Structure formats: C-alpha cells, structure tokens
C-alpha cells in the first residue's frame, strides 16, 4: 500500500494543520478519544487441537507444530503486511517451513509471558469514512500488525481454555 497525503486537518482547537506531524497528532487525539479498549476474540476461527491434550492439570500446554502449520494456510493473501514487513502470502506459502520455529516462539512466549517486540508494533493508517476530509472524526484507524503475531492471537484463547 502506498502512502497518500492527507489534506489539511482541523486540530482539537479548530486550527487548520498541514504539517504531517501535526496531522498525525490531530488524528491520534481523535482516535484516542474514541478508543474503547474492548478486545475481540478470534477464537471461532481456530482449528481444534491446538495444544497437546495429554498433560497434567498444572503443566504448561504444549503448542503443537501441526496446529501452527494449519493457521498460516488460512491467511488471506490479499491483506496488507504489518510493521515487520512480513506479507501474509509469504507466511501462507512457507507454512510448512515456518511451523516448527513459530511453534517454538509461541511456546516460549507462553512460558515467559513475553511477546516479541516487533509483534507489538502497528502501522496505523487513517481511512476516510464520509463527510469533510478536514475533520479527523471522519476517519477510522486501521492497524496493520504483525502476521505471526496475529496468528498467535488466534489460537492463544484456545490454549488458555
């Protein structure tokens, strides 16, 4: 996706701003004011059997390589890549080769409670909805996040339950 320049925007004080940094701040202020913090769960899109069912009650789950292999095969190759620059088409085509390293990363993430820093980044793109283009409230934010991170988000609810 190429960069497109936004027209001048009105900031919170009603001033017309045209510098890129000022426009970003105006959009950020608007998006932050309406953010609900409500999380959605993609659990319904996950195939069953994501973790090893044969384990003791208090043992950590074992994330199966086979399950990790299946999720990239379902990726929409027409979606955009995230801040890490990994395109969904690459993940889909290399699903067999990436299954083992991703299952190791996901397992370590579960055990340590840490997520790779690159997976926490997003490219936020404002998309015009309707109305005057100078009003930040007439835009909606689209967050382009890491594809491996999105895959992990899809099956972690199943790991937890």
Compute φ and ψ for 131, nearest 5 degrees. 85, -165
Alpha carbon separation from 25 to 11, 28, 31, 34, 136 (Å, rounded): 8, 5, 10, 15, 10
Per the structure block, which two tokens stand in for 136? Answer: 């930040």
Measured from the Cβ of residue 45, the count of other Cβ atoms closer than 10 Å reads: 10
Instruction: Please state, as a whole number, how many other Cβ atoms lie within 10 Å of the Cβ of residue 68.
Output: 25
Predicted structure pTM score: 0.65
74-95: average pLDDT: 89
Give residue 83's pLDDT band: very low, low, confident or very high (50, 70, 90): confident
- pLDDT for the residue 85: 87
Question: How many Å from the N-terminal Cα to the C-terminal Cα in the chain?
Answer: 37
Question: 19-34: per-residue pLDDT in tens?
Answer: 988 888 888 888 887 7
Domain-by-domain residue ranges, the chain? 9-160
> Average of pLDDT values for 111-133?
90
Say which residue, 66 or 48, is predicted with more confidence: 66
């Amino acid at each position: 996706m190429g960069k497109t320049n936004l027209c001048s925007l009105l900031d919170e004080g009603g001033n017309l701003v045209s510098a890129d940094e000022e426009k970003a701040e105006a959009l950020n202020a608007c998006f932050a004011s309406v953010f609900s913090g409500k999380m959605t769960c993609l659990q319904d899109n996950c195939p069953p059997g994501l973790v090893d069912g044969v384990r003791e009650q208090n043992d950590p789950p074992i994330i199966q390589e086979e399950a990790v292999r299946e999720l990239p095969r379902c990726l929409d190759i027409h979606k955009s890549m995230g801040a890490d620059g990994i395109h969904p088409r690459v993940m889909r085509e290399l699903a067999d080769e990436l299954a083992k390293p991703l299952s190791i990363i996901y397992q370590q993430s579960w055990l340590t409670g840490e997520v790779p820093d690159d997976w926490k980044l997003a490219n936020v793109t404002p998309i015009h909805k309707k109305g005057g283009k100078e009003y930040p409230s007439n835009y909606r934010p689209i967050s382009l996040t890491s594809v491996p991170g999105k895959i992990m988000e899809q099956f972690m609810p199943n790991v937890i339950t």
